[in-house]
Chain A
Amino acid sequence: MAELIRSSKACSVYPLKMSQPLGAVYAILGVKNSMPIMHGSQGCAAFAKTFLTRHFWENIPMQTTALSEIVTIMGGDENLHTALKNVIEKNKPEFVGVVSTGVSETRGDDTEGSIKMFRELYDEYSHTKIVFVSTPDYVGSFHEGYSKAVSSILRSLLRAPMKKSPNQINLLISYSMTAKDIDAIEELIKSFGFKPVIFPDMRSLDGQAKAFSSITKYGTDIRDIEMMPASTITIAIGESVREAGEYLEKKFMIPMFYYDSLIGLENFDSLISLLINLSGKEPPESVKRWRDRLLDAMVDSHFYLTGKKVVVAGEPDFLWGMANFLTKEMGAEVPLIVSPTYADGLENLPVGKVIIGDLEDILLHIDGSDIDLLIGNTNLRHIAKEIKAPHYRVGIPIFDRLGHFLKGYIGYEGTANLVFELANLLMERDEEASYHIPEHIKRR
């Protein structure tokens, strides 16, 4: 059990937290032909759009209801309705996700009611699905926003139970997974003869070349989402989608198998066992081969990672796999993890302290001990500079490195990539240090 500390500062310094609407938008972008609309002042959407554009190096479909000072004070449905009309007419999305913000929530908008009224007033737009997610900026973080959006989309699109389709599996995906991670799990599940329904499918932002599009070109097809009640099981990866998995379990009696992460050998062994049991088949040769390679990679890397002190910061889903793998499987020490928001079970991780706070809290809680490696988003570089530690970029946002979304972190292959990258950073640092001439030698 770790010591759970909730930062009590009035001022968040070097913030780690990202807003709920941003998390909700992230999930909405995982639906095919979709467009998120932020119900707030235009800055709410502009910041989020720029933020995600810099992270993915992709155009990010997003629109705003652009609340002005008059509308903000006087209220009314007009901006939302105009935004919906404009977006549907101009961009022709199949799916529109409306997320609220601090502005619309403080005003006390009944956005859901307003969308209903829009439905009644404008029959001609009935072909476009509209889902509302309530995400006031002043509650929760990215994690909760993502979680709410995934659940809200299922709740509003899924209706009656269906006849079971024996080979179909629901796959609920954490925001911590990259395009490469999603490829890997899809391929694995298919190799056992199952058909996965992957949701949200963030490969919509995986960097397709050629031709600009103003809505998402890829992602989960709405028709596939509507077929989810027909699945035999749900595999939920990440705390953020556990609630959605539980909903499918309760409403449609689909058993859920939950994994907090698929980083590391043990987690993946467990998933492979499940699939062997369900299908009665063996995994393909390549999977067996990669298990061997991962073991070899871990052996090779242990010289650099075992016994090292690593601090991990990020939204909750990024923390589970990283902390467990580093400590339990690589023998590193994690004195500290930082999350911007509390999530159930964080304090059970094999780490020293769990801090609910910001990046400055790392400086305030490392108690002068030397940290060998920092793992977290781009903003962590400020702390890395101050304590002169190498910094491995994992998380959101990453805007000072390219290609992070096409790297794999899960499964035997992805974990091998991760462990090499971490070890290489420490190897480089150690090499440099070995050339350093100590002061007392110089003086002689």
Chain B
Amino acid sequence: MKRLEEFFFEPNCGHNKLKSEKEKKQGCSKPKPGGASGGCAFDGAQIALVPISDALHLVHGPIPCAGNSWDNRGTRSSFSTNYRIGLTTDMSEMDVVHGGEKKLYRAIKEVVERYKPSAVFVYQTCVPAMIGDDVVSVCKKASEDLGVPIIPVESPGFVGSKNLGNKLAGDALFRYVIGTQEPEYTTDYDVNLLGEYNIAGELWQVKPLFKELGIRILACISGDVTYRQVACAHRARVNMVVCSKTMLNLARKMEEKYGIPYFEGSFYGIKDTSDALRNFARLLGSEELIERTERLIEREEKRIKEKLQPYIEKLRGKRVLINTGGVKSWSMVSQVQELGMVVVGTSGKKSTSGDKERMIELLGDEGKIVDDPNPKELVRMFKEYDVDLLMAGGRSKFVALKEGIPFLDTNQERIKPYAGYDGMLILAQELVRTLYSPVFKLYRRKAPWQSL
């Protein structure tokens, strides 16, 4: 498990820096029996890699790992629909007894012949890991025989949480993919985005801005991206880490090996979008680009603020509770504040100390950081803080709706994109829709027989 420990020593992780030596040894927080709700390492690995859309994603394991999860993310692609095909070796009892390697090899061969993918990602899950299936060797052999890159992703669920799985995915890309191909040409303005999954097409909302500035997105890892683009990612000049922690290890390793500087940022909200563009211009280091970027920011901010005005009038003063993870826990705070809303609380559960500092600064006296946003705590907060709306993932959706609180889905299952300047408008429209829906009024009305 030496390699696993490496992930817990991420020197650039804000979480890690604050830990004592003893705590560091324990690694990232472990799931609690009888009290855990998040996904496993395999889940995380899949989330980070599946958006590589012209590759196939084959899950080696018994049915639930793929069967209960395939095609469950809202990532979009303009290249291929390969990534949406659920593929699994569906291990049987006989495979558990005799080993699953041969079946895995045959499965890889079958799908390569039938779907002719650019590459195949093979995910190791708990059961084959326990019986000792050597996925790395099978992939190596299949790759040599079939002439297609077959990438092993060693991600059995029991090694840890979803977050760790993201890191394992980044590690697989760094080991086996990035740097294996060369782009046809390079420019001085080639960049990568790390940790952007193009959920609901969010990448597509910011892409035109890059195009206008003459910045080329070489690879978005991973969202609307091809295997070849990822393989060429080492030629970028700057990396942006979009979803705070998950791809930090990849960014650091790319900096060490290829000398690519990186920064952390977000595309949620007007200010954050502008800041991200500014950071790119600054790190790409051209005075002319910096100037052009400022002009674009000025124009876009003015345009979107005008469009938002009628919505802001309806949203002003509404009280929002935010329960979401990672970078969104603070970037969404500023985003809804820009719409004139009051954030009464946001989740600090999955946030780094850096994230938290930003939250405290943004929240001021009005808001709280909720460290354990369990359902009961959320229900309590609805009442105590007179909450008008909950912004959260699907897991908390029904906690809000059962209490008659309007809700906005901010996680991977949402179908509307909220990124960039135009995403602000869509966000505002969706917020107005749920906040002003008559159903919530009807919800509180008594049934006719109750008044008898």
Interface residues of A (CB under 8 A from B): 9-15, 17-19, 21-22, 37, 40-51, 53-54, 57-59, 63-69, 72-73, 79-80, 82-87, 90, 101-103, 106-107, 136-139, 141, 209-212, 214, 379, 382
Cβ distance A402 to chain B, nearest Cβ, rounded Å: 13
Q: How far is the CA of A40 from the CA of B35 in the complex (A)?
A: 14
Query: What are the residues of chain B within 8 A of A47 when measuring CB–CB?
Result: 39, 43, 64-65, 68-69
Whether a CB of chain A sits under 8 angstroms from the CB of B95 is: yes
Query: What are the residues of chain B within 8 A of A15 when measuring CB–CB?
Result: 63, 66-67, 70, 86, 88, 90
* A54 near B71: Cβ-Cβ < 8 Å: no
Name B93's contact: one of A19, A59, A90, A139 (CB within 8 Å).
A139
* A13 near B33: Cβ-Cβ < 8 Å: no
* B111 near A11: Cβ-Cβ < 8 Å: yes
Query: What are the residues of chain A within 8 A of B443 when measuring CB–CB?
Result: 209
Given contacts A18-B67, A46-B39, A69-B1, contact A12 B88 (CB under 8 A): yes
Q: How far is the CA of A72 from the CA of B158 in the complex (A)?
A: 8
Residues 310 to 347 of chain B near chain A (Cβ within 8 Å): none
Query: What are the residues of chain A within 8 A of B43 when measuring CB–CB?
Result: 43, 46-47
* B86 near A13: Cβ-Cβ < 8 Å: yes
Given contacts A11-B111, A18-B68, A69-B1, contact A102 B36 (CB under 8 A): no
Q: How far is the CA of A42 from the CA of B162 in the complex (A)?
A: 10
Name B35's contact: one of A49, A67, A68, A90 (CB within 8 Å).
A90
Count residues of chain B with CB under 8 A from any CB of chain A.
68
* B127 near A137: Cβ-Cβ < 8 Å: yes
Query: What are the residues of chain A within 8 A of B381 when measuring CB–CB?
Result: none
Query: What are the residues of chain A within 8 A of B130 when measuring CB–CB?
Result: 72-73, 103, 106-107
Name A54's contact: one of B103, B379, B404, B413 (CB within 8 Å).
B413
Closest-by-CB residue of B relative to A141 is B63
Query: What are the residues of chain B within 8 A of A42 when measuring CB–CB?
Result: 31, 36, 38-40, 157, 161
Given contacts A13-B85, A53-B398, A137-B91, 6 further A-B contacts (CB under 8 A): A11-B110, A17-B67, A45-B36, A50-B69, A138-B93, A212-B375
Q: How far is the CA of A80 from the CA of B35 in the complex (A)?
A: 12
* A54 near B64: Cβ-Cβ < 8 Å: no
Mask of B111-135 contacts with A, CB within 8 angstroms, 1/0: 1001000000000001100110000
What are the nearest 3 A-B pairs in CB distance? A43-B40, A86-B34, A43-B157
Query: What are the residues of chain A within 8 A of B127 when measuring CB–CB?
Result: 102-103, 106, 137-138
Interface residues of B (CB under 8 A from A): 1, 30-43, 58, 61-72, 84-93, 95-96, 103, 106-107, 110-111, 114, 126-127, 130-131, 156-161, 375-376, 379, 394-395, 398-399, 402-404, 413, 443
Q: How far is the CA of A46 from the CA of B157 in the complex (A)?
A: 11
* A379 near B71: Cβ-Cβ < 8 Å: yes
Name B64's contact: one of A11, A44, A66 (CB within 8 Å).
A44
Given contacts A43-B42, A106-B127, contact A48 B89 (CB under 8 A): no
Query: What are the residues of chain A within 8 A of B160 when measuring CB–CB?
Result: 68
Query: What are the residues of chain B within 8 A of A72 when measuring CB–CB?
Result: 126, 130, 158
Cβ distance A356 to chain B, nearest Cβ, rounded Å: 12
* B63 near A17: Cβ-Cβ < 8 Å: yes
Query: What are the residues of chain A within 8 A of B42 when measuring CB–CB?
Result: 43
* B31 near A66: Cβ-Cβ < 8 Å: yes
Closest-by-CB residue of A relative to B106 is A10
* A138 near B62: Cβ-Cβ < 8 Å: yes
Q: How far is the CA of A80 from the CA of B111 in the complex (A)?
A: 39
Cβ distance A414 to chain B, nearest Cβ, rounded Å: 26
* B110 near A10: Cβ-Cβ < 8 Å: yes
Cβ distance A47 to chain B, nearest Cβ, rounded Å: 4
10 A-B pairs within 8 Å (CB atoms) are namely A10-B103, A43-B39, A46-B37, A59-B399, A64-B33, A69-B1, A69-B159, A72-B126, A138-B91, A210-B402
* A48 near B157: Cβ-Cβ < 8 Å: no
Q: How far is the CA of A107 from the CA of B127 in the complex (A)?
A: 9
Name B126's contact: one of A49, A53, A84, A102 (CB within 8 Å).
A102
Q: How far is the CA of A198 from the CA of B92 in the complex (A)?
A: 34
Closest-by-CB residue of A relative to B61 is A102
Q: Which of B1, B90, B379 has the most CB of A within 10 A?
A: B90
Question: In the complex, how many residue pairs between chain A and chain B have their CB atoms under 8 Å apart?
Answer: 212
Name B92's contact: one of A49, A86, A139, A379 (CB within 8 Å).
A139
Query: What are the residues of chain A within 8 A of B161 when measuring CB–CB?
Result: 42
* B40 near A46: Cβ-Cβ < 8 Å: yes
Closest-by-CB residue of A relative to B107 is A11
Q: How far is the CA of A82 from the CA of B34 in the complex (A)?
A: 7
Query: What are the residues of chain A within 8 A of B114 when measuring CB–CB?
Result: 13
Query: What are the residues of chain B within 8 A of A45 when measuring CB–CB?
Result: 36
Query: What are the residues of chain B within 8 A of A67 when measuring CB–CB?
Result: 158
Query: What are the residues of chain B within 8 A of A211 when measuring CB–CB?
Result: 402-403
Given contacts A43-B39, A103-B130, contact A137 B62 (CB under 8 A): yes
Q: How far is the CA of A11 from the CA of B100 in the complex (A)?
A: 12
Cβ distance A222 to chain B, nearest Cβ, rounded Å: 21
Cβ distance A31 to chain B, nearest Cβ, rounded Å: 19
Closest-by-CB residue of B relative to A10 is B106
Query: What are the residues of chain B within 8 A of A82 when measuring CB–CB?
Result: 33-34
Q: How far is the CA of A210 from the CA of B402 in the complex (A)?
A: 5
Closest-by-CB residue of A relative to B70 is A15
* A209 near B402: Cβ-Cβ < 8 Å: yes
* A382 near B84: Cβ-Cβ < 8 Å: yes
Name B41's contact: one of A43, A44, A58, A87 (CB within 8 Å).
A43
* A12 near B87: Cβ-Cβ < 8 Å: yes
Q: How far is the CA of A286 from the CA of B84 in the complex (A)?
A: 47
Query: What are the residues of chain B within 8 A of A48 when measuring CB–CB?
Result: 64, 68
Q: Which of A9, A15, A43, A82 has the most CB of B within 10 A?
A: A43
Query: What are the residues of chain A within 8 A of B403 when measuring CB–CB?
Result: 210-212
Cβ distance A53 to chain B, nearest Cβ, rounded Å: 7
Closest-by-CB residue of B relative to A86 is B34
Cβ distance A178 to chain B, nearest Cβ, rounded Å: 19
* A50 near B72: Cβ-Cβ < 8 Å: yes
Name A102's contact: one of B64, B107, B376, B395 (CB within 8 Å).
B64
Query: What are the residues of chain A within 8 A of B37 when measuring CB–CB?
Result: 46, 49
Query: What are the residues of chain A within 8 A of B85 when measuring CB–CB?
Result: 13-14, 382
* A18 near B84: Cβ-Cβ < 8 Å: no
* B36 near A90: Cβ-Cβ < 8 Å: no
* B33 near A79: Cβ-Cβ < 8 Å: yes
Query: What are the residues of chain B within 8 A of A136 when measuring CB–CB?
Result: 62, 93
Closest-by-CB residue of A relative to B404 is A210
Query: What are the residues of chain B within 8 A of A73 when measuring CB–CB?
Result: 130
Given contacts A54-B394, A72-B126, A211-B402, contact A85 B34 (CB under 8 A): yes
Q: How far is the CA of A68 from the CA of B159 in the complex (A)?
A: 6
* A22 near B64: Cβ-Cβ < 8 Å: yes
Cβ distance A84 to chain B, nearest Cβ, rounded Å: 7
Closest-by-CB residue of B relative to A137 is B62
Closest-by-CB residue of A relative to B35 is A86
Closest-by-CB residue of B relative to A16 is B67
Query: What are the residues of chain B within 8 A of A57 when measuring CB–CB?
Result: 398
Query: What are the residues of chain A within 8 A of B92 when measuring CB–CB?
Result: 138-139
Q: How far is the CA of A141 from the CA of B92 in the complex (A)?
A: 11
Name B34's contact: one of A49, A50, A51, A83 (CB within 8 Å).
A83
Q: How far is the CA of A43 from the CA of B155 in the complex (A)?
A: 11
Cβ distance B390 to chain A, nearest Cβ, rounded Å: 12
Name B58's contact: one of A11, A58, A85, A212 (CB within 8 Å).
A11
Query: What are the residues of chain B within 8 A of A106 when measuring CB–CB?
Result: 96, 126-127, 130-131
Query: What are the residues of chain A within 8 A of B156 when measuring CB–CB?
Result: 41, 69
